[in-house]
Copies of this chain bind each other. A is one copy, B any other.
Amino acid sequence: MAAEPTSASQSAPSPRSPTERRRVVIVGGVAGGASCAARLRRLDESLEIAVIDRGPYVSFANCGLPYYVGNVIADERKLLMASPESFRQRFNIEVFTDTEATAIDRTARNLTVRDLKSGAERTERYDVLVLSPGAAPIRPPIPGVDLDGVFAVRSIPDSRRIRAWIDEHGAKSAVVVGGGFIGLEMMENLVHRGLSVTILEKLTQVMPPVDPEMAAPLMKHIEAEGVTLRLGDGLAAIESGVGAGLVVVAESGTRLETDLVILAIGVRPETGLARAAGLPIGARGGIVVDGAMRTEDPHIWAVGDVVEVEDVLTGQETVLPLAGPANRQGRVAAESIAGRRTHFRGVQATAVVGVLGMTIASTGASEKGLKRAGVTDFAKVYLHPGHHAGYYPGAQPIHLKLLFSVPDGRILGAQAVGHEGVDKRIDVIATAIQFRGTVHDLAEVELSYAPQFGAAKDPVNLAGMLAENVLNGDMPIADWDAIATTEALLVDVREPHEYEAGHPPGFINLPLSAMRERYCELPKDREIWLSCGVGQRAYYATRFLAQHGYAAKNLTGGYTTYRQRTAAGLP
């Protein structure tokens, strides 16, 4: 995606003849497409605007579909943000539902469409074409993938079919293939319907956007809620079972009997129409657009899950199927089509999912994402503060990981998991990332505090302060993945009763409370790596020892982080 702001005003496509009105045709009437249509009308009353959608609805809440399956949203009309009639009446926008775009004639500027009810084909002329076809759930080419009872979740009719299947067959169990956002949300909703659910996931963690140790508390929670996690095992085949039942055959050979299967492996941009028309497709599989969401063809824009956009953290192109960016892209495209100066700023992959009472969220790059992108000049801190003041009843821990650039302290990403206040902290850090903020900014940010809402030093402030301590050398940190191989002396500074209740292997115990009397017992010719419960006491010990000439380092996040790592199978 072009990085520079683009002015479209000089080259905005005009109608082909002076007697015709300029005509904008939008393919796909959900999220980006719907946003683009409505915004465009507000900007320009003179245009003809038409929206074409393959499905029976436009502008529906696709993020609500799992909750409709789960009957949390009982009335499917709640999912309809707007109707074809309201588009017509309110915005003078033509809407053609049950209509599929089948070919683009870029030279003639015609779109061939098929009415899916009658089968009739016709041609829609355009001066401007906006492609917003979205992304389709991946259906792996394995035996049995098309059996009855195997579902993906993309549309209201999809969801209706799952609801009907559950009701008609009295479904008691489900296998959800894939442990990402949609897989987790589907699992939650099937549990809510009373089904016994197994998640089959090829990776060794759920929630692939976050690092495995940050997914660990969620995985533990999911299993405690009675869901079976089969991780590190892929889908090999689906077979018919007893009655209407199915058997999911995993790559390991395990056979899982089930009443229905949800495919939530991921999605793939629907680029067929664009490819056939010769529009450039990028390395990540999405349509290539510039900063104004315009394709190589000056008459064609593209928005939403089908495009590649720049990841502002890594500078690399990415495909990010999320509703927020899709909506903003729709607005940007509309502004560009209307001849305004506009620019989509790229994405930072802010996301959240609520699962059975727990919340996991992230923004920016993950550690594995940074490593994949070849970034090495970064550091990380872990912390586990309460979501509000500890003295007020009901404080729940938030497990927080902050990644930042060394030595400049620029925030690269954050991940959080917990029961309350998770989305707030990630949103605050997401905002700081937008401004290319540093950990120093996080240390200083003035957030609202009352006992029910936060702390005088909010978890965000604490994360910034810890990172500052790393950057300025006050708190050298050691990495947990090296404790098995290091020559350093490993010291647990918790109280003896805590140490005895469980500690990482290889650690001796010298409590912080005895440190001032006993520190002379420690060697000066060897690094000392310190751990405690969450990292705070080890920080105090690190500062004390460093000032007395010891080479002390803090194992960030303490025993809590250690346990997250081991739960995730990390060394």
Contacts and interface: CB of A to CB of B under 8 A. Distances in A.
B72 A449 contact: no
A327 B457 contact: yes
A360 to B, nearest CB: 10
Contacts of A430: 445-448
Interface in A107-166: none
B446 A391 contact: no
A325 B350 CA distance: 28
A504 interface: no
A341 to B, nearest CB: 11
A553 to B, nearest CB: 15
A270 interface: no
Given A426-B448, A435-B437, 16 more contacts: A42-B539, A42-B540, A42-B543, A43-B543, A45-B544, A45-B548, A61-B391, A61-B451, A64-B392, A90-B512, A322-B449, A324-B458, A326-B456, A351-B450, A352-B454, A428-B431
A323, A350, A441, A448, most chain B CB atoms within 10 A: A448
Given A448-B352, A540-B90, A456 B423 contact: no
A446 B513 contact: no
A389 B63 contact: yes
A167 to B, nearest CB: 21
Contacts of A456: 31, 63, 323-324, 326-327
B444 A345 contact: yes
A172 interface: no
A24 interface: no
Contacts of A392: 64, 67, 72-73
A368 interface: no
Contacts of A461: 324, 328
A323 B361 CA distance: 28
Contacts of A91: 540
Contacts of A181: 450
Contacts of A64: 389, 391-392, 451
Contact of A350 (B326, B361, B448): B448
A46 to B, nearest CB: 8
Nearest to A327: B456
Interface in A449-487: 449-454, 456-458, 461, 474
Interface string A416-435: 00000001101110111011
A403 interface: no
A423 B42 CA distance: 32
Contact of A79 (B46, B391, B458, B516): B391
B89 A516 contact: yes
A331 to B, nearest CB: 8
Nearest to A81: B391
A110 to B, nearest CB: 28
A539 to B, nearest CB: 8
Given A430-B445, A446-B430, A61 B352 contact: no
B446 A516 contact: no
14 contacts: A42-B539, A63-B450, A63-B456, A64-B451, A73-B391, A73-B393, A79-B391, A89-B513, A181-B450, A323-B449, A324-B461, A352-B448, A352-B450, A430-B445
A196 interface: no
Nearest to A457: B327
B31 A352 contact: no
Copies of this chain, tallied across the complex: 2
A45 B550 CA distance: 13
Contacts of A31: 456
Nearest to A62: B456
B445 A431 contact: yes
Interface string A60-90: 0101100100001100001101000000011
A391 to B, nearest CB: 5
Contacts of A424: 423-424, 427
Nearest 9 interchain pairs by C-beta: A352-B448, A435-B435, A323-B456, A45-B547, A424-B424, A431-B431, A42-B543, A78-B391, A350-B446
Contacts of A322: 449
B446 A325 contact: yes
- Choose among A350, A446, A456 the residue with the greatest number of B CB atoms under 10 Å from its CB: A446
A240 interface: no
A105 interface: no
Contacts of A437: 435
Contacts of A452: 354
A272 to B, nearest CB: 25
Interface string A357-375: 0010101000000000000
B447 A324 contact: yes
Contacts of A457: 324, 327
Contact of A453 (B61, B67, B185, B354): B354
Contacts of A389: 61, 63-64
A363 B326 contact: no
A11 B389 CA distance: 37
A488 interface: no
Given A73-B392, A73-B393, A348 B446 contact: yes
A279 interface: no
A422 B539 CA distance: 34
Nearest to A91: B540
A308 B361 CA distance: 38
B426 A428 contact: no
